[in-house]
Amino acid sequence: MAPLAEALAAAAALVARVAAGKSLSADVEQAESEAAGASRAAVIDLCYGTLRRFGRSQALAQALSRRTAATDPLVEALLWCAFCALESGRYADYTVVDQTADACAGMRRPKAKPFVNAVLRQYLRTRALLESRVAGTLAGRYWHPDWWVARVREAYPDAWENVLAAGNAQPPMCLRVNARRGTRDAYAALLAAAGVATQVAGPTALLLDKPMPAARLPGFAQGDVSVQDAGAQQAAVLLDLQPEQRVLDACAAPGGKSAHMLESAAISLTALDIDASRCADITRNLDRLGLTAQVHAADCTAPAAWWDGRPFDRILADVPCTASGIARRHPDIKWLRRSADIAGFAARQARIVDALWRTLAPGGKLLYVTCSVFPEENDAVVDAFVARTPDARRLALPGDAPAQLLPGPRHDGFFFALLAKAA
């Protein structure tokens, strides 16, 4: 197969797995290995692009052919990927049609070739009419499930369309300069000398005008810089870390916020994650940066299994959530989540904060963080915790920072709440 046909086939394999309910991250390496000669960049571009516009692609396929409901799921996924390729503007229309048809053979679906060819040619002939029809549906217009659109519209009546549009966009690439090894401005000058344009996005944050592989960043292997969203970088700042404090990062993997805290102050850090394999990611990230912490694979809601009884001065509770604020980085999330999942996450978040509060020193602070835009996981959880916890008080964020960061061109979506324990 030609490179585009191979990339389409590999991307379709990934997308079909997501459509069957599997996480993209769990299968991406396996699917890439199936791409043979296709480039990783092309596969990822087609896969992520297809999943970002998944609702729209489904609507198009259904409008084009009654057969799609009974079609082999892999062939249907191939059609969705072909729509993405056609809309990308990177390829000539006739090339996409021919290469998609050729991909059927490589996917061991040779009998599907005439069907795929006919559907795509019909799409090109009736494109304007189909676009108008699909735009009349919520999923077709906003590229999110109907329930997601409804919840965001209710929560942010003045900004909901912008939130949804951000969730469909390419995410920005932001760097965090290691303050132990250099300054933001000096690193910006180093990049400028190499022809890489940046914008200041925070005390240690630089936003790249154009994304690039992390391995190509000057000093990346030596620990001079890391890739971390500008919104995520607010956590270490909001905690007001001081030298020699005992600090807990309760849900730490893959270690970006742990590393940022260690770069910010000479603290004693304990980093937990319930997944042992993800704890290895924390250790690798810290090793690259020349940083050290006590890393434990443990359930933060069961302190008896990991806590030595010495209270922490600061706790970062970056709790598991729907990840609705970073859906553009993980586009499968929009289609794997269900509306009912939100209540389950909120209950788990409440258990985590209750457990961690017992390990916080009097006068200490806990920063509650999610990467969600759903209020049920954010203000609702925090308000309920403060209401049932007599020694807890919610503080204003330093610098009048907003509690809810909505996703936009410069950062992802995050929620922050700073809680103080009575002395």
Average pLDDT for residues 179-187, to the nearest whole number? 97
Backbone φ and ψ for 230, nearest 5 degrees, come out as -60, -35
Q: Report the alpha-carbon distance of residue 306 to residue 271 in Å, rounded.
A: 11
- Quick one: which of 320, 314, 201 has its CA closest to 258? 314
Q: Report the alpha-carbon distance of residue 272 to residue 250 in Å, rounded.
A: 5
pTM value is: 0.93
Give me the pLDDT at residue 327, please: 96
Q: Report the alpha-carbon distance of residue 49 to residue 360 in Å, rounded.
A: 43
In this predicted structure, the answer to whether residue 32 has a pLDDT above a threshold of 50 is no
Distance of CA 323 to the CA centre of its chain: 7
Percent of the chain scored above 90 by pLDDT?
Answer: 87
What residues does 225 pair with on adjacent strands? 177
- Quick one: which of 111, 83, 112, 77 has its CA closest to 97? 83
Q: Mind listing the pLDDT tens digit for each residue in 236-250?
A: 999 999 999 999 999
Cβ-Cβ contacts under 8 Å for 356 (sequence gap 6 or more): 248, 250, 300, 303, 315, 317, 366
Distance of CA 264 to the CA centre of its chain: 24
The DSSP-derived string for 131-181 is HHHHTTSHHHHHSS-HHHHHHHHHH-TTTHHHHHHHHHSPPP-EEEE-TTT
Average pLDDT for residues 217-224, to the nearest whole number? 97
Q: Mind listing the pLDDT tens digit for each residue in 111-148?
A: 999 999 999 999 999 999 998 989 999 999 999 999 99
Q: Report the alpha-carbon distance of residue 306 to residue 230 in Å, rounded.
A: 31
| Strand arrangement, sheet containing 205-208 | 198-202, 205-208, 174-177, 225-227
Q: Report the alpha-carbon distance of residue 230 to residue 191 in Å, rounded.
A: 18
**CATH numbers and ranges of domains, the chain:** 3-143 (1.10.940.10), 173-228 (3.30.70.1170), 230-421 (3.40.50.150)
Q: Helix H segments across 202-273?
A: 234-238, 256-264
Helices then strands, each counted (H, E), the chain: 18, 12
When pLDDT is cut at 50, 70 and 90, the band that residue 30 belongs to is low
Q: Report the alpha-carbon distance of residue 244 to residue 280 in Å, rounded.
A: 25
Q: Which two tokens stand for residue 208?
A: 């790249």
The answer to whether residues 312 and 358 touch, using CB atoms and an 8 Å cutoff, is no
Q: Report the alpha-carbon distance of residue 133 to residue 76 in Å, rounded.
A: 20
Share of the chain residues as helix, strand and coil, in percent rounded to the nearest 5: 50, 15, 35
Give me the pLDDT at residue 180, please: 96
Q: Report the alpha-carbon distance of residue 283 to residue 296 in Å, rounded.
A: 10
* 371 noted as active-site residue: yes
The DSSP code for 322 is -
Q: Which two tokens stand for residue 323?
A: 């990840």
In this predicted structure, the answer to whether residue 164 has a pLDDT above a threshold of 90 is yes
Give me the pLDDT at residue 68, please: 54
Give me the pLDDT at residue 81, please: 97
Distance of CA 87 to the CA centre of its chain: 23
Q: Mind listing the pLDDT tens digit for each residue in 350-394?
A: 999 999 999 999 999 999 999 999 999 999 999 999 999 999 999
Among 47, 251, 279, 371, which one carries the catalytic annotation?
371
Identify which of 87-91, 104-108, 340-344 has the greatest average pLDDT: 340-344
Percent of the chain scored above 70 by pLDDT?
Answer: 96
- Quick one: which of 341, 397, 418 has its CA closest to 372? 341
